[in-house]
């Protein structure tokens, strides 16, 4: 029981570290125009995750759950693996990771790290840990209750994220192009006149300055190599 208590306390400390990182990253996102969505489901999520840690300890102590070596060591490996996956997500997202749903306009979706393999790797880590941690010491009631409540919460959370991303990408492309770096408005064509035109005297190509292909609208300010 002592070592299981130490394990749960370590997970609790890890949660506090997450909150510190999340608070710093939340400030980073808001300073760049980030918009928070779905704040209503955040307090229940905090209560649920706190209840997981307390419930596991109480069930093991009050119900006298015994440690089963085969089940316990297997679940411990899953707990460690889920922590690794979670911090892989945090490292991949960098300052864009936080525990809330905040969308910063103009930033592309992250497709590297674990997001190459699955759409919501962080939630996979939460689900695995939420079931495996109590089962390390046989607290199956806590594991089952957390899994069911977390599944319902994740439905709300993922729906909130999808709606936030859709609203962020609903800006008309024309409006984006007009403010995109590198965009050059097209000047109206000059009116035609009946006056005689000057002879077409062409400068040899070797005497012209190098041309670039970086003038299209929405280029994002990226320069291209000079045309041959």
- Residue-wise pLDDT tens for the chain (228 aa)? 889 999 999 999 999 999 999 999 999 999 999 989 988 899 999 999 999 999 999 999 999 999 999 999 999 999 999 999 999 999 999 999 999 999 898 888 888 999 999 989 999 999 999 999 999 999 999 999 999 999 999 999 999 988 888 877 664 433 333 333 343 333 444 444 444 444 444 444 443 333 322 333 333 332 332 333
Q: What is the reported pTM?
A: 0.71
**DSSP H or E segment with residue 5:** helix 2-31
For residue 221, how many C-alpha atoms fall within 13 Å in the half-sphere facing its CB? Answer: 3
Distance CA 56, CA 49 (A): 11
**DSSP H or E segment with residue 78:** helix 69-93
């Amino acid at each position: 029981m002592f070592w299981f208590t130490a394990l749960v306390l370590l997970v609790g400390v890890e949660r506090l570290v997450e909150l510190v990182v999340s608070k710093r990253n939340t400030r980073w996102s808001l300073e760049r125009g980030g918009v928070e969505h779905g704040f209503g489901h955040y307090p229940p999520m905090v209560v649920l995750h706190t209840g997981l840690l307390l419930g596991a300890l109480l069930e093991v102590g009050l119900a006298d759950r015994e440690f089963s070596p085969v089940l316990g060591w297997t679940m411990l490996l899953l707990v460690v693996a889920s922590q690794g996956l979670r911090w892989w997500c945090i490292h991949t997202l960098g300052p864009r990771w936080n525990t809330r749903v905040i969308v910063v306009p103009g930033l592309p979706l992250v497709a590297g790290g674990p997001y190459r393999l699955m759409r919501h790797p962080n939630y996979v880590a939460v689900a695995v840990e939420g079931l495996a941690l109590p089962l390390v010491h046989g607290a199956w009631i806590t594991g089952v209750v957390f899994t069911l409540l977390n599944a319902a919460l994740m439905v709300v959370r993922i729906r909130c994220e999808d709606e936030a991303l859709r609203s962020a990408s609903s800006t008309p492309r024309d409006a984006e192009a007009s403010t995109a770096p590198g965009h050059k408005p097209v000047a109206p064509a000059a009116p035609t006149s009946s006056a005689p035109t000057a002879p077409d005297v062409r400068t040899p190509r070797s005497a012209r300055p190098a041309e670039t292909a970086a003038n299209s609208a929405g280029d994002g300010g990226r320069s291209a190599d000079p045309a041959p």
